[in-house]
Chain A
Amino acid sequence: MSYAIEMRHIRKEFPGIVANDNITLQVEEGEIHALFGENGAGKSTLMNILFGLYQPDQGELYVHGKKAVINDPNDATRLGIGMVHQHFMLIDKFTVAENIILGREPKKHGLLDMAKAVKIVKELSEKYGLDVDPYQKVEDITVGMQQRVEILKTLYRGSDILIFDEPTAVLTPIEIKELIVIMKRLVSEGKSIILITHKLKEIFEACDRCTVIRRGKNIDTMSISETNPSDLASMMVGRKIHVQVNDAPYDPKEKVLEIEHLNVLDSRKVNVIKDLHLSVHGGEILGIAGVDGNGQTELIEAIAGLRKVKEGTIKLNGQDITNQKTRKIVEAGLGYIPEDRQKHGLVLDFTIGENMVLQTYYKKPYAESGVLKNKVITKKAEQLIQEFDIRTPSEKTLARSLSGGNQQKVIVAREVDRSPQLLIAAQPTRGLDIGAIEFIHGKLLDEKKKGKAVLLVSFELDEILHLSDRIAVIYEGNIIDIVNPKETDENELGLLMAGRKKGGAES
């Protein structure tokens, strides 16, 4: 039987690392095949070899049963291999149709034939159920639609083998569902798909078979129907995964965060937080569930002093922190794991050590009489690197060169180490692999056990349900209900998030 893609005994070395060590990947015709592994396991390297961006040191490639040499992406395209990149390669100012035909423009008398281009795009999008408007500019369309444009680009070039590089990392839950439908449609039209991912859920929803790689080595290839999530997860990480559950008794203490009558405007001067009330107690994790854009970001920014409060009060440990400077609020006991870790959580060009003292650099013991105590900072950083299992050559390494999971660990280490009364965790595990997620969940639960208050904001309902002691549902800038995670499920939360109160009444 011939495979759509067969990569045999691939080996690729980089200075100091073996990225791929004797990896074999066999993708059957017409299947969705998951390439599953932690960040840094060698998935991208393998796919870059398939796409002609790297040359393997050893090993052979077969496409549809024929031996192939792929020297550059043009070769890959000729062989019908298309890549949907994680970071889109689109020109914002161009229309959808212009982006799709770029590089292979249909011509009439030597001139660009835009009418024909639009027609081709429309045909392709109908055939595969990829809903796009060819005339819209890329900068004006949603991320999900941009991804569909990327898929259309590969289809337009005649690809019948599509590589999806972590396609769901940038999508909302609804867009993910749509993408899975699209992938299944593509397969039913005779395409083969390789899905690079580290998310279990997607594999079980979308894929037929799965190849697990770990630290550059092949672990196993199996049918999805013959495995289960926990086995697969242990296979990826190489040890048993303990799913972190909130099993410590719920014993709420005094109110740490108290929000009353809060009104906040967004950057367009629209009232996005409307008369919101909320309190978080010591010793509890309060999860905020909600569809993106219902005021979560603005709420956190208002608490952290990064956004002006129009009306209402915010109290931290009984102290009024409404419209105070961020530093004052931090000193009053706020810890904050921001949503965008690279932009807001870290100075990427600082070393790990420097990032560890981003809020405390001016205080003892890190600074004394106007001079930085670099030795103390180094020591602290080394201690936290050890404690939080941050994988790095040294504390002198720039934050930029760490993997996403390790970057997040640096932030969590810094925030937890300051021992804040209130810890806000915004999308703390987005884009991370299972090992790192498990670790960070454990740290949040530890904070609860220490009697601190944790405010968890996440779009991942699983995460909210797993970790929270109480779940507050935010809808259009208001907390419309607070539910007990033990007495609710995804369906009820989903309805609440869509604005329906219990009993079916529209809120």
Chain B
Amino acid sequence: MNRLLKKVDWINLLIPVVSVVLGLLCGAIIMLIIGYNPLLAYQSIVESIFLQPYYGGETIRAMIPLVLAGLAVAFAFRTGLFNIGVEGQLMAGWLASVACAIIFGHLPKVVLLPLSILAGGAAGALWGYIPGLLKAKFKVHEVISTIMMNYIALYSTAYIIKNFLYTEGERTPTIPHAASLASPFLANLTQGSRLHWGFIVAIIAVLAMWFILWKTPKGYELRAVGFSPDASKYAGMNVSRNIILSLTISGVFAGLGGAMEGLGTYQYMTINSAFTGIGFNGIAVALLGLNTPVGVLLSGALFAGLQTGGLTMQSVAGVPVELIQIIIALIIFFVGSGYVIKWALGRLSRKGHK
């Protein structure tokens, strides 16, 4: 019995790995059909990320918001909720951090930087709190309300920038140095990439998710409510309050992701006419990472690597960068068909035994 359980776990872990391999394989087949050299393409990705400091730095840089968005989705999912509103929470966090940095620009760095990061987290929290409240009080399904909150975020950030924080180039002014996460040291180290100190925030967030969910009584409660609201209610837990809390914490992760872009990568926020896509990619990151903190970190690294490496793939192997999006989509498709993979692996291992 024990052996059997172990085997099942092992298969579950294998699903994302197999999905990635299958995704890359299918991508290679598509490249072959169109007439590109897949080996050269993949080689260029790997070489650029691991051998060229600039691309390595850019990969980690791209990882930061992806991991935070992935954590936001995974956290909500662990508590039985589907947060599609990471995109909006991220934009709210982005604008709030940039606005805070500009408004309180006279403050010293030790105060202003943490304050601006917190402002981002708080705005994301608010953007998660509202759908949480709607669900707890009026039973509005969180998928609907978080999607709607995305649009509210998209257009209200544009409105606020246009009317209160506008500068030339359809964007906010650049944040003061005292609020910036950017680092000449890291940039030098990586031959001028935009890598910034935000990666520390992302790592802390990974640890925080693990700690909250598995090491605190509150996290225990959140998971219990996620698995079984009925049993939790019978055990004396307040289900509504946990729903609100879960989406709020999820929003904090997303908001921090936005703050990392505002204070780190870009140092400002542009008027977006469309979604950034980071929030939606977060869903994929969480899915591939099996909604575990470490899994999110790894799958965030993979997605960031593919996106950054895709640029060299284009210049070296001539493969259009859009193919990367196809490969990512294929990987997600295979993760989504995890049941089929599980079945196939089960059959293979049974044959191996006989």
Spell out A's residues near B (CB within 8 Å).
Answer: 15-17, 304-306, 325-330, 336, 338, 343-350, 354, 358-359, 361-362, 366-367, 370-372, 374, 393-394, 397, 401
Contact = CB atoms under 8 A, between A and B. Distances in A.
A239 to B, nearest CB: 23
Given A361-B221, A371-B216, A393-B2, A345 B231 contact: yes
Q: Which of B5, B215, B217, B230 has the most CB of A within 10 A?
A: B217
B347 interface: no
Given A350-B227, A354-B220, A367-B217, A306 B4 contact: no
Contacts of B233: 306, 326
A329 B236 CA distance: 9
Interface in B84-100: none
A452 B293 CA distance: 45
A349 B227 contact: yes
A329 B224 CA distance: 20
A348 B228 contact: yes
B224 A350 contact: yes
A282 to B, nearest CB: 23
B145 interface: no
Interface of B: 1-5, 214-221, 223-224, 227-228, 230-238
Q: Is the interface of B mostly helix, strand, loop or mixed?
A: helix
A344 B216 contact: no
A408 to B, nearest CB: 14
A344 B230 contact: yes
Q: Which of B220, B223, B232, B236 is the most central at the interface, judged by chain A CB atoms within 10 Å of its CB?
A: B236
Contacts of B232: 347, 358
A370 B215 CA distance: 9
22 contacts: A16-B2, A17-B1, A304-B234, A306-B234, A325-B238, A326-B234, A327-B238, A330-B236, A343-B228, A344-B230, A345-B231, A350-B224, A350-B227, A354-B220, A359-B236, A361-B217, A367-B217, A370-B216, A370-B217, A371-B215, A393-B1, A394-B2
A393 B231 contact: no
B203 to A, nearest CB: 20
Given A15-B3, A326-B233, A372 B216 contact: yes
Given A306-B233, A326-B234, A358-B231, 18 more contacts: A305-B236, A306-B234, A326-B235, A327-B236, A329-B236, A330-B236, A343-B230, A346-B231, A348-B228, A354-B224, A358-B235, A361-B220, A361-B221, A370-B217, A372-B217, A393-B5, A394-B2, A397-B5
Given A348-B227, A358-B224, A372 B1 contact: no
Contacts of B4: 15-16
A328 B1 CA distance: 40
A358 B60 CA distance: 40
A359 B233 CA distance: 10
A336 B234 contact: yes
B230 A16 contact: no
A338 B234 CA distance: 8
B352 to A, nearest CB: 13
A397 B236 CA distance: 24
Contacts of A344: 230-231, 234
Contacts of A366: 217
A470 B218 CA distance: 42
A370 B214 CA distance: 12
B220 A16 contact: no
Contacts of B219: 372
Contacts of A350: 223-224, 227
A345 B232 CA distance: 9
A359 B217 contact: no
Contacts of A345: 231, 234
Contacts of B231: 343-347, 358
A362 B221 contact: yes
Contacts of B5: 393, 397, 401
B346 to A, nearest CB: 11
Nearest to B225: A347
B217 A347 contact: no
A359 B236 CA distance: 7
B215 A372 contact: yes
A126 to B, nearest CB: 42
B245 to A, nearest CB: 14
B228 A347 contact: yes
B77 to A, nearest CB: 13
A303 to B, nearest CB: 12
A348 B232 CA distance: 11
A362 B218 CA distance: 8
A16 B4 CA distance: 8
- Which of A305, A347, A367 has most chain B Cβ within 10 Å? A347
Nearest to B228: A347
B227 A372 contact: no
Contacts of A325: 236, 238
A397 B5 CA distance: 9
Contacts of B217: 361-362, 366-367, 370, 372
